[in-house]
Amino acid sequence: MPNPPKTYAAQPIFIKSAPKLALAPAADRPEFAFIGRSNVGKSSLLNMLLGKRLAQTSSTPGKTQLLNYFALRHTYWVDLPGYGYARTGKEARVGFARLITDYMEGRPNLVCVLVLLDIRHEPQKIDVEFMEYLMEAKVPFAMVFTKADKLAPSKVAAAVAAYQNKMLETWLGLPPAFATSAEKGLGKDDVLAYLNELEETSLASGQFTPGPLLLPQKAIKKGA
């Protein structure tokens, strides 16, 4: 990325939906991806952060089945298919998984993945396994807890700590963590400030600068 992208979107706009990575927009700007279990409230959170109703919400989990691209300032935001439960056939679920892994491992301008987690539940196996996959694939990510308005503030902190303690059983260090509520607007400023910082760092450095990477404890033990 020798120069900043020429196009600038002062307001968020929808760009396109891509059924596969080869049809995604040119990788010419910092990119943030949003993903989570199919019923985590991803589209609602995206709309809250964008300040505009662009991502399609639905009462049916698993509706997002494409790479949905939005532009804001000099960045792309990507609404990815959810992992886990989806009311689709087995063949389609396999296709979603391949689309996700193709994207994670093949998108050179991916700066950070925001993994959405329902704060009302204890650490879920599928969420932990997905974050372990990101770690092993060396994909930077942050944890974004949704539906924080459904818990008392003291329980919000305890729920975040439960995930962090689970992660520290096998990981060295922790990714950034944010507690949010699309309904109440909680956490919006903190998440946007983090993304703005990553965007500015990438543009200033002239390359797609990723967020911090984590290492599994076993990697350190093997090298000892």
- Looking at residue 3, what is its pLDDT? 65
- Looking at residue 117, what is its pLDDT? 97
Domains belonging to the chain, first-starting first, are 9-223 (3.40.50.300)
Average confidence (pLDDT) per 10 residues, the chain, 224 residues: 73 95 95 92 93 70 75 96 62 67 94 96 91 88 96 94 91 91 96 95 83 58 40
* CA angle in degrees (0–180, nearest 5) for 36-53-13: 95
- Looking at residue 214, what is its pLDDT? 66
- Looking at residue 60, what is its pLDDT? 46
- Looking at residue 142, what is its pLDDT? 95
- Looking at residue 206, what is its pLDDT? 80
- Measured CA to CA, the distance from residue 27 to residue 112 in angstroms comes to 14
- Measured CA to CA, the distance from residue 17 to residue 56 in angstroms comes to 12
